[in-house]
Chains A and B, each alone.
Chain A
Amino acid sequence: MDFPIFHADFFGNRLLIAIIGILHILINHPFAVGMMPLITVLEWWAYRRNRADWDELLRKILGVCFIVTTTVGALTGVGIWFSTAVVNPYAIGSLLRVFYWAWFTEWVIFCSEVVLILFYFLTWKRMGGERKPAHIRIGIALSIMSWLTMVIVTGILGFMMNPGGWAQEQSLLSGFLNPLYHPQLLLRTTLALGAAGSLALALALPFTEKGSKLRSEATRIFCGWTLFWVVPMIIWSAVYYRAIPVEMLVNLPVAFGTQAWAGYYGLLLKVAAGITALLIGLCLWGLWQPKRTNAAVWILPIICFAILMGQFERTRQFIRKPYVIGFYMFSNGIRVSDVPYILKTGVLANSLWTRHTTVTPENKVEAGRDVFMIACSRCHTLNGMNSVSSNLARLYPGQAWWNAGAIDTYIKNIHGARPHMPPFAGTAAERSALAAYLATLYDRRDLTSTADLPTNNRK
């Protein structure tokens, strides 16, 4: 309420964050956190066994990872913090207050990681023979640095679902070691290591000859590596599931399959289990019969992993609702503890970036639009993705029903009817202004303009 309002009405602010965030995870986990230890271990193994062909294969795989992580990976990583800070500055501000030094440390580690991967890849050929052990040590340092970035960010991610002891203690450590910390760290670590095996399996295809000994060896080793980490990954996903607060598990069907697919939750679960089973089956097949298969099959495991990782991220992001920081701040940036105060004093009166600070009969609809922008627009658009007009159209299938009175009554108890919605925070006058504005949307379904966003009224 103290910040200007960024609003992408076409695809919504949530999707913007989701695209950047999921893309980052799809790169970070397999290409960096999981791949660096895999390459380092195999480099050492190839060196001990004196296998120049393996050394060359690993260098080529690392080359792909080097380019992808330092371009798209780095850009999306920074992009997450920029997009979330623009969309929900209150949430990021709260996290910054708690994790101030963690953020600082994260940057130092990230810089070390980038420098090390530059060294590791660019000196691969130069540091052969006598200097190979030193090169492997760079790989070890790089693996540790990649993992440490995860060690830190996981603390912040878990905090957003359940701050745990921080609610009482309010210290960096109590927030960092939240109830989800270890489950999520172990799940992500095993997931990243397993996914790296599958990615290497796919990347080895263009760099090995068809039917060669190197390819069948690579298939066997990478399938085995994947399988080795999939087993603890399944255990730790069960641990993670148990660590989710029970209040949030009611969101699971909608979180897993979106509102439109919530009814097919059981089916979607079976699909996810099927994908995991396919992954395990393919890896077993690769261990047993690495040669007798069409090579294109070995692209499937990393696709399975990409689906599982994307689905996990979507579910994790949605299941926190109605909170953006569990039990502390609602999705629209209003702190839980501030709700009674805002109910009493009003949301407009406490906002800087709004055209109207009070509701009068003359400005009712206009003020309602300001309330919408402050209280609803973090998640809802007017006519784009997850739009209020489509939600209202499903709720009130005709103009006779789509009226301010009915909408007002619904908003009053919206947190009771929908467990993932926060309670409306504002005075009764603001609520009826919002309802009056939403009622006008029936005739203005083409409205997508963001040009008339509220401006700073205190200037």
Chain B
Amino acid sequence: MDIDRPTDPTDTRWLPSRWKALLIGAAIQLILAAWGGWYLFTPQPQPAKPRQLVNEVLIPEDMVYPDTDQGIKIGKKLPSIDLKEVAAASPAQLKAGADIFAQNCVSCHGLNGKGDGPAGITLNPGPRDLTALNTWKNGTRTSDIFRTISLGSPGTRMSAFDFLSPGERLALAHFVESLAPGHARDTAESLQSLDRQFNLSQGVTEPSTIPVSTAMDKLVAEAAAAARAAPNPDAVDPAGAQLFREVADSMRVSSLDYWLSHDSSWMKDPARLRILAVGGSPTNGFLPRVGMLDEKSWGALHRYLLVRYQKKPEQKGQQ
């Protein structure tokens, strides 16, 4: 742009200055809106969820090797439970249940079980009010409470408290029952069905546990072994690999890896792959020349990518 003042004040060049300003302003607005609109209406990649961390992992007993694994806990047989204990609570059970409640439940369900615990404030759905029986959805009998404690409530933050022994869960169920009057009574059939589901009268064997670090080491070793055993896509399909190298931007392979392994919509349909590769983000990892491929090459590229990315989940463990 010409910074100097025009020597002739009547010199308006190709457009009056006001129109020029309007034109530049409109162009800036249009570019910003179009670019923003492109971001808003094309799918943006999202990061992979990190592995959920837990402190202990339950694994089947035959996978535990006491001589090599650290921190393992071999399961033991727990005493059986008399069905009469399920039907009626003893004072000892209520006292034990109150302690278990204080340690495990109060933070969400609140001191009096009204669902007003401070840790529950941000949960959605919020914690159940254990005294408002008419809002319960899994039944109010002792056996129902036992089942909810043991299995959790899917779709909510109520997790399975299966690390408590059956005796502890039973004591807790009785304590929860004592929080409000009006609970339905168990019948002989409901007690027997609970017994069948949880093997109460025969006694259960507590599963063995190992620390999460050991479990992760095992998973990593397994995944590494699986990755070694999996076919190398470049060896299976050398022509496809060559084609891929020609159209992929070697600087952006991680970007390609990222969205191709997270957006699986292209796997069933070569046409969808073409839309994503040509019409997607200009930085999606394909070079512009990918748009010049013919129909046959698209098929070949799709076949190669299927091999390349369908074994991706197993490779993850190597990192």
Chain A residues in the interface with B (C-beta under 8 A): 44, 47-48, 50, 132-133, 136-137, 162, 164-165, 167-169, 173-174, 177, 179, 182-183, 186, 190, 228, 231-232, 235-236, 238-239, 242-243, 245-247, 253-254, 262-263, 326-327, 336, 339-341, 343-344, 394-398, 400-401, 405-406, 409-410, 412-413, 415-419, 423, 428
What DSSP secondary structure best describes chain B's contact surface?
Answer: helix
- Tell me if B67 counts as interface (CB < 8 A to partner A): no
Complex contacts, B157 vs chain A, CB 8 Å = 416-417
Q: A47-B5, A246-B46 are in contact. List 6 more A-B contacts (CB 8 A).
A: A165-B254, A179-B44, A394-B118, A401-B106, A409-B104, A423-B55
Nearest residue (CB) in A for B31 is A232
Q: How far is the CA of A238 from the CA of B111 in the complex (A)?
A: 42
Whole-angstrom CA separation of A373 from B102 in the bound complex: 27
A-B contact pairs, 17 of them (CB 8 A): A44-B3, A48-B6, A164-B45, A165-B252, A231-B29, A231-B33, A232-B29, A235-B37, A235-B40, A236-B36, A239-B40, A242-B40, A245-B47, A340-B216, A341-B213, A401-B111, A415-B53
Q: What is the minimal beta-carbon distance from B128 to any residue of chain A, in angstroms?
A: 15
Is the pair A418, B119 in contact by a Cβ cutoff of 8 Å?
yes
The answer to whether B254 and A168 touch across the interface, beta carbons within 8 angstroms, is: yes
Given contacts A228-B25, A409-B103, contact A182 B39 (CB under 8 A): yes
In the complex, the answer to whether B5 meets A395 with C-beta atoms within 8 Å is no
Q: Would you call B102 and A406 a contact (CB within 8 A)?
A: yes
Once the chains are docked, how many angstroms separate the CA of A255 from the CA of B53? 23
Assuming the contacts A48-B17, A164-B47, A340-B212, asked whether A183 and B106 have C-beta atoms less than 8 A apart, the reply is: no
Residues of chain B in range 30-89 having any CB-CB distance to chain A below 8 Å: 32-33, 35-37, 39-40, 44-50, 53, 55, 70-71
Closest to A135 in B: B3
Q: Give chain A residues whose Cβ lies under 8 Å from the Cβ of B159.
A: 416
List residues of chain B with CB within 8 A of the CB of A238.
36, 40
> Lowest 5 CB-CB distances: which A-B pairs, in order?
A232-B32, A168-B254, A235-B36, A344-B213, A340-B213
| Structural contact, A165 and B255, CB atoms closer than 8 A | yes
A395-B212 Cα distance, complex, nearest whole Å: 28
- For B100, give the chain A residue with the smallest CB separation: A409
Are A50 and B5 touching (Cβ within 8 A)? yes
Contact B119 A395 (CB under 8 A): yes
B257 contacts chain A at the CB level, 8 A cutoff = yes
Report B-chain residues with C-beta under 8 Å of the C-beta of A247. Answer: 47, 49
Q: Give the docked Cα–Cα distance between A173 and B212 (Å).
A: 35
- Hey, which chain B residues are within 8 Å of A236, CB to CB? 32, 36
Report which of A165, A177, A394, A410 forms a contact with B258, defined as CB distance below 8 A. Answer: A165
Q: Which of A50, A190, A242, A341 contacts B44 (CB 8 A)?
A: A242
Q: Is the CB of A412 within 8 A of B53?
A: no
B47 touches A327 (CB 8 A): yes
A232 & B33 in contact (Cβ 8 Å cutoff):
yes
Which chain A positions have C-beta within 8 A of B211?
343-344
Option from B25, B28, B53, B283 in Cβ contact (under 8 Å) with A177: B283
Max chain A Cβ within 10 angstroms of own Cβ: one of B17, B39, B106: B39
Q: With A232-B29, A327-B50 known to touch, is A417 a contact of B5 (CB < 8 Å)?
A: no
Are A339 and B283 within 8 A (Cβ)? no
Nearest CB of B to A262, in Å: 6
> Looking at the complex, which one of B55, B102, B111 makes contact with A412 (CB distance below 8 Å)?
B55
Whether B254 and A179, one on each chain, are in contact in the complex, defined by CB atoms closer than 8 angstroms, is: no
Looking at the complex, which one of A136, A186, A246, A413 makes contact with B3 (CB distance below 8 Å)?
A: A136
A309 to chain B, nearest CB (A): 19
Instruction: Find chain B residues with CB under 8 A from A183 CB.
Output: 39
A174, B40: Cβ atoms closer than 8 Å: no
Residues 96-121 of B contacting A (Cβ, < 8 Å):
102-104, 106-108, 111, 117-119, 121
C-alpha spacing A47/B40, complex, angstroms: 41
For residue B216, which residues in chain A have a CB less than 8 angstroms away from its CB? 340
Task: From B33, B55, B111, B121, give the contact of A397 (CB < 8 A).
Answer: B111
Q: Which residues of B contact A235 (CB under 8 A)?
A: 32-33, 36-37, 40
Chain A residues near B33 (CB-CB < 8 A): 231-232, 235
Q: Cβ of B122 and Cβ of A336 under 8 Å apart?
A: no
User: Complex: how many Å from CA A397 to CA B50?
Assistant: 34
B189 CB contacts on chain A under 8 angstroms: none
Q: A239-B36, A401-B111 are in contact. Are A133 and B55 (CB under 8 A)?
A: no
Least CB separation from B32: chain A residue: A232
In whole angstroms, how far apart are the Cα atoms of A137 and B2 in the complex? 11
- CA gap between A162 and B71 in the complex, in Å: 35
Whether A168 lies near B29 (C-beta < 8 A) is no
